[in-house]
Structure 1
Amino acid sequence: MVSTEPVIETTDNPSCVVCGSELPRQKKGRPRRYCNPACARRARQASPSNQASEGPSHTPAPGRRGAEARGQGVGIEQAPSDALDPPADAVEDFRTRYYANFASTPGQDPISTRRKLRYRLRHLLREVTTVNRCKGCGWEPIANGIAIKMGTKDGRNTAGFGGLETCGRIWLCPVCSAKIRVRRGDQIAEGVGRHIDGGGSAWFLTITLPHEKGDALKDSFDALTQAWRYVKTGRAYQDEKKWFGILGEIKAVEVTHGDNGWHPHAHILILTSRNLEFDEFCSWVARLDARWAKGLAKVGWSTGRPGIRLVLVPVEKGKGIAAYVAKVQEKGLGNEIARADMKDARPGNRTPFGILADFGNHALADDVELWWEYEQATAGRSAIRWSPGLWAKLMPDADDLSDEEIAAEDEGSAAIAYLAPWTWRRIRTIPGAEIAILEAVERSGWEGLLRVLIRYRVSAAGVYTPEEWATPNEVELEPL
């Protein structure tokens, strides 16, 4: 079992992540990570991906960092080795269970493959997370019986479990995140479609900020948020609201990690009451870019390069957005904004769930520490947010559900079977049994469920039809 103790922060002065020299404390601005330019160059030249490419024979045990890693200047704070060291037999058990379980098999149905990956990642998340709510997601029953439900979506049978705890963590849980982001993407596509049908216009804005390997994710997130707040405050923004008819915005924040450290960025849909002439559009872009650069400077961050730090393109209904964005879409604008869990990072970068999967495959301590940093930095932050009053304007007939409410909704429309708690406790400990049950039910219903239980040597005594479950004295909640 891998220790799930988070990195402990101390009140000591920060030190250079390359050579360990003590750094002076700063009261404001971008926190320093290096003592001099030479250390900064060494950190930029070091590539954590090279360690992973060496193969299993060179992979360090989980929770232990070698002297080589310190010499390469890995850009995250180091945890005490005893806080991460599991027993030797636990290390081998963990590697045996998770190694090579997080790669897609060529030729498989992509929907089925993604779901299998999400469930495997959620099992791994329970072992490493510092968030207690995530440990019980999809694991602990909240009712006397666990329902197996089935419905139809987009012409496909879809099965799911009911009566289990859900965490609703859009940043952290692979299963809840996918469910929430699907709904958010549909909502965005519907709302923006209504707006454009009514004669309005939409603009797709991407903002980013320069980053280095030593930048802490929390500091980068704070800089992104505070600099954007500067763009939206003051007389300039109020003038733009009147000139261009700005009604509101939908903002989605994403993050990846690569050789240059954490890379948080935001996609923002800005809705206006009318279309803009070309000269108006150019003027607006220049004003936004200038304020964004000034906002970054205000929070002590580098301003970056024009044309990269801020990009604005028009949205055309039925055509997605501009070509450079449309190439990564699967179903359109809503997915581009909301479905960060479906996107692949650029070469050399990894998504947070990619980091978690790499830890499952290679058991590198660097990866689990990156995940813990991600957990701490995203705590309390919104991933997708509509500006105040915009939902009421665009979606007055729809309920604005919270992430937790969306995650707790049952996936299927009708129950085809119920599992007694003791039967569920047996199933959840068998690797792959949950997915096998859902896929069998989607193919063959009740008969498929029984065949899977026989294959996994699970007694059918704790499995009931809906009629049996509703009949008094027909159900045994615990084995005899």
Structure 2
Amino acid sequence: MLLGEPGGTELGALACGQVWVCPVCAYAVRGERAREAGLLTAAHLRAGGQAWAVVCDPGEVEQAGLAARWQLLSAAWRRVVSGSGWAAEARRSGRVGVVWSPEVTWSGQDGWRVVLRVLLLDHPLREELHQETVARWTSQWAAGAGASGARVSWRPVTDTVAAGGHVAAVCDAGAGRRLGEGALGPADLLARARRTGEEPWWELWREYTRAATPAARGHRSPVTFSRGLRSALLPGLVHRADADLAVEQARATVPALTGRAWRRLAADGALQLQVLDAALRGPAHLSWTLADHGLAAGEPARLAAA
């Protein structure tokens, strides 16, 4: 469901599986991927491994458009994770795998900003060997970004909450929450456009949807796990596709509402985010939120495409 725009229908819930442009589906998928990242990190730490929360920032980019910035970020990341240096690093560090996710925000002061959040799982190294890894990532990232101020920051992760939080920070951006003062995620832009009806907000949202294409973003999923990472650490973890996961989460968290309540919810993007957030907090919080907004439960009605 694209906040009231035409989309797929389900009895009792709406889900389209468009995890890049639908805040409802993105919230569910990113949250589940963050949970998976926490489970993998816990298993890795129990086995004596170590984890790093890495932020790759392309710095000051000459291209002002979001699509160009996103393409640059994807190209820089490919440079880090390819070639003989990447393979040699795996052998030297005992790297188990990585999880990565792009973070897109906009602010009136800085415009579009795209950074890459990475969770690296490897094994304890001598300090000089770790510094070699840091130096290689920094040089390859800077060369790929080709921008002034390109940087890679590292922080050790010692618990699973921090690991999931590193990925969930992106989840919050896609769910309409502020990452920082003045910084708005894609869902924030859409909610403001729908609330105010002002063309500048709609144009920002349209620019985001144009940029969130496979050619620009270079990532299939908002949160990507390196090949074999899940099976290496948690062989019993069942992998579900993003689209399937979005539908499952919607069915599990959103109850059947009356046709009138669904129509009101579909027309108010900000209200949708409040209801979804309440649903993920628990049944009691959801019931209170629905009652507070006068959204009556009952037999759901299929919504006709506008």
> 1:390 — aligned with what?
229
Q: Tell me how far 1:242 sits from its aligned partner.
A: 1.3
> 1:363 — aligned with what?
197
Q: Summarize the Cα distance change of 1:463–1:294 in structure 2 as closer, same or farther, 3 Å threshold.
A: closer
> 1:256 — aligned with what?
105
Equivalent residue in structure 2 for 1:320, among 154, 162, 165: 162
> 2:168 — aligned with what?
335
> 2:115 — aligned with what?
265
Higher relative contact order at CA 8 Å, sep ≥6: structure 1 or structure 2? 2
Q: Tell me how far 1:265 sits from its aligned partner.
A: 0.8
- In the TM superposition, 1:37-56 aligns within 5 A as none
> 1:375 — aligned with what?
209
Q: Tell me how far 1:405 sits from its aligned partner.
A: 0.8
Map Cα deviations across residues 121-171 of structure 1 (whole Å, 9 max, x no partner): x77x335xxxxxxx225xx3x4xxx4xxxxxxxxxxxxxxx3x44112222
The separation in 1 between residues aligned to 2:158 and 2:241, in whole angstroms, is 29
Alpha-carbon contact 1:168-1:405 (below 8 Å) kept: yes
> 1:350 — aligned with what?
184
Q: Tell me how far 1:397 sits from its aligned partner.
A: 0.5
Q: Summarize the Cα distance change of 1:429–1:296 in structure 2 as closer, same or farther, 3 Å threshold.
A: closer
Q: Secondary structure at the match of 1:409?
A: helix
Q: Secondary structure at the match of 2:120?
A: strand
Pair 1:217 & 2:66 matched? yes
Equivalent residue in structure 2 for 1:310, among 152, 171, 181: 152
More helix by percentage: 2
Q: Secondary structure at the match of 2:187?
A: helix
Q: Calculate the TM-score normalised by the size of structure 1.
A: 0.51
> 1:136 — aligned with what?
7
The separation in 2 between residues aligned to 1:265 and 1:383, in whole angstroms, is 13
Gaps of 5+ in 1: 1-121, 128-134, 147-161, 322-330, 465-476
The separation in 2 between residues aligned to 1:318 and 1:391, in whole angstroms, is 15
Q: Summarize the Cα distance change of 1:413–1:405 in structure 2 as closer, same or farther, 3 Å threshold.
A: closer
CA RMSD of superposed structures (Å): 3.8
Q: Secondary structure at the match of 1:429?
A: helix
> 1:167 — aligned with what?
16
The separation in 1 between residues aligned to 2:166 and 2:71, in whole angstroms, is 27
The separation in 2 between residues aligned to 1:319 and 1:189, in whole angstroms, is 7
Worse-superposed segment, 339-348 or 198-207: 339-348
Equivalent residue in structure 2 for 1:244, among 86, 93, 98: 93
- In the TM superposition, 1:6-155 aligns within 5 A as 125-127=3-5, 135-137=6-8, 140=9, 142=10, 146=11
Q: Tell me how far 1:310 sits from its aligned partner.
A: 1.0
Map Cα deviations across residues 399-457 of structure 1 (whole Å, 9 max, x no partner): 11011111111557699x977xxx52x33234589889x99x956999xx9x99xx78x
> 1:153 — aligned with what?
none
> 2:82 — aligned with what?
233
Counterpart amino acid of residue 126 in structure 1: G
> 2:238 — aligned with what?
399
Q: Tell me how far 1:223 sits from its aligned partner.
A: 0.9
The separation in 1 between residues aligned to 2:31 and 2:251, in whole angstroms, is 15
Q: Tell me how far 1:319 sits from its aligned partner.
A: 7.1
Q: Tell me how far 1:268 sits from its aligned partner.
A: 0.8
Q: Calculate the TM-score normalised by the size of structure 2.
A: 0.77
Gaps of 5+ in 2: none
Q: Tell me how far 1:216 sits from its aligned partner.
A: 1.5
Q: How many residues align?
A: 284
The separation in 2 between residues aligned to 1:444 and 1:271, in whole angstroms, is 36
Q: Tell me how far 1:344 sits from its aligned partner.
A: 2.0
> 1:49 — aligned with what?
none
Pair 1:208 & 2:57 matched? yes
Q: Tell me how far 1:217 sits from its aligned partner.
A: 1.2
